[in-house]
């Protein structure tokens, strides 16, 4: 194979969810609604933390940064997906595909580390309450947040770079709604490249280590909570941790199936559904999960939305 036959692919076709035009319109409307709700809910949490001085604590600062992350996480896939629902060609450029690929995995990895930091924060607050103010200072919070972003965006950068250097000589059709690792590597002219195994090893290691850390943290938290004599104290501790555990379960439950379990056991349709859950559905549920059982957050959000109504009516 000579050089003229290699790397001829300049764009990819994302099939998304094939079907009749009416179904495409229905899917477009549903994803658009979810996207708008995701932006609204997560922006509301950011504004609530910013404007309500009672929420100027490490726990809510991490939550605001997590909401900011969720906005970008869903934005790296949803707008392109919405465009493809109404497009006949459904194409994405080579550089656009790998840009989406990089940001999708970098933001997903950053989310893993943010969930770890939030678990660490709850562990300190419940297991070491006397030392918590001296450890979890504003400067230390900034360091933890910065590390989450830096590690998240570096973790997959080298494997993704080498995958982008693989020869793609056609076909260029990706049976997915985003540029994911397995569909991309399957289109490469190189049969089962080593970099694919490296990528999955990095992903599995990141997912398993962060999940074990979170489970370990909450095991210690649970042990400490059960030793609390006051039922009110136990209820308050469970309330602050319950929301985080629900988010962790939703996120890790789906990505474990995708990137840790054998992918051959899942159909293409199942891959799309699982990816849709953790990339689009989970970000819209997080604001609801974090605010339903949190009185301070519900009070702050009520003021945010009331303020928006006042601005609109004036």
pLDDT score for 12: 93
Cα(243)–Cα(218) distance, rounded to whole angstroms?
A: 12
Angstrom CA distances, 279 to 21, 65, 127, 191, 285, stand at 24, 17, 33, 29, 11
Question: What is the distance between the alpha carbons of residues 55 and 126, in angstroms, rounded to a whole number?
Answer: 18
pLDDT at position 73 is: 96
Q: In this predicted structure, what is the pLDDT of residue 4?
A: 45
| pTM of the entire predicted model | 0.88
Task: Give residue-wise pLDDT tens across range 41-89.
Answer: 999 999 989 888 888 999 999 999 999 999 999 999 999 999 999 988 8
pLDDT at 265 (0 to 100): 53
Percent composition of the chain: helix, strand, coil (DSSP 3-state, to 5): 75, 5, 20
The Cα–Cα gap between 58 and 117 comes to 10
pLDDT of residue 102: 97
Residues of the chain with pLDDT under 70: 1-7, 229-240, 260-266, 292-293, 305, 307-314
Q: How far apart are CA 306 and CA 122, in angstroms?
A: 30
For residue range 245-286, list pLDDT tens digits in order: 888 888 888 888 777 665 555 578 888 888 898 899 899 988
Give CA–CA dist 228/294, Å, rounded. Answer: 20
**The pLDDT of residue 36:** 96
Q: Report the alpha-carbon distance of residue 206 to residue 265 in Å, rounded.
A: 22
pLDDT at res. 3: 45
Which pLDDT value is given to residue 238? 67
Phi-psi region of 170 (alpha: psi -120 to 50; beta: other; left: phi over 0): left
Percentage of the chain exceeding pLDDT 90:
52
pLDDT of residue 255: 85
Rounded distance between C-alpha atoms, residue 299 and residue 83, angstroms: 37
Architecture of domain 10-313: Up-down Bundle (1.20)
């Amino acid at each position: 194979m000579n050089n003229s036959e290699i790397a001829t692919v300049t764009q990819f076709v994302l099939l998304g969810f094939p079907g009749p035009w009416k179904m495409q319109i229905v899917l477009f409307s549903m994803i658009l609604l979810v996207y708008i709700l995701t932006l609204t809910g997560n922006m509301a949490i950011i504004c609530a933390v910013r404007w309500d001085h009672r929420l100027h604590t490490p726990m809510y600062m991490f939550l605001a940064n997590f909401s900011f992350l969720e906005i970008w996480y869903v934005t790296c896939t949803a707008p392109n997906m919405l465009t493809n629902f109404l497009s006949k060609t459904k194409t994405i450029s080579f550089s656009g595909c790998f840009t989406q690929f990089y940001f999708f995995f970098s933001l997903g990895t950053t989310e893993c580390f943010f969930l770890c930091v939030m678990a660490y924060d709850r562990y300190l607050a419940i297991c070491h309450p006397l030392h918590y103010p001296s450890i979890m200072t504003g400067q230390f919070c900034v360091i933890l947040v910065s590390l989450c972003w830096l590690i998240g965006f570096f973790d997959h950068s080298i494997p993704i770079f080498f995958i982008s250097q693989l020869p793609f000589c056609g076909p260029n059709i990706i049976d997915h709604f985003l540029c994911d690792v397995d569909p991309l590597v399957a289109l490469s002219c190189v049969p089962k490249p080593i970099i694919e195994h490296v990528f999955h090893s990095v992903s599995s290691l990141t997912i398993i280590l962060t999940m074990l850390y979170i489970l370990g943290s909450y095991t210690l938290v649970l042990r400490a909570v059960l030793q609390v004599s006051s039922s009110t104290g136990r209820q308050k501790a469970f309330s602050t941790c319950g929301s985080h555990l629900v988010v962790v379960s939703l996120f890790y439950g789906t990505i474990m199936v995708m990137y840790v379990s054998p992918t051959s056991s899942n159909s293409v349709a199942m891959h799309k559904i699982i990816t849709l859950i953790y990339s689009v559905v989970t970000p819209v549920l997080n604001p609801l999960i974090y605010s339903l059982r949190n009185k301070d957050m519900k009070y702050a959000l009520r003021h945010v939305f009331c303020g928006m109504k006042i601005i609109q009516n004036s």
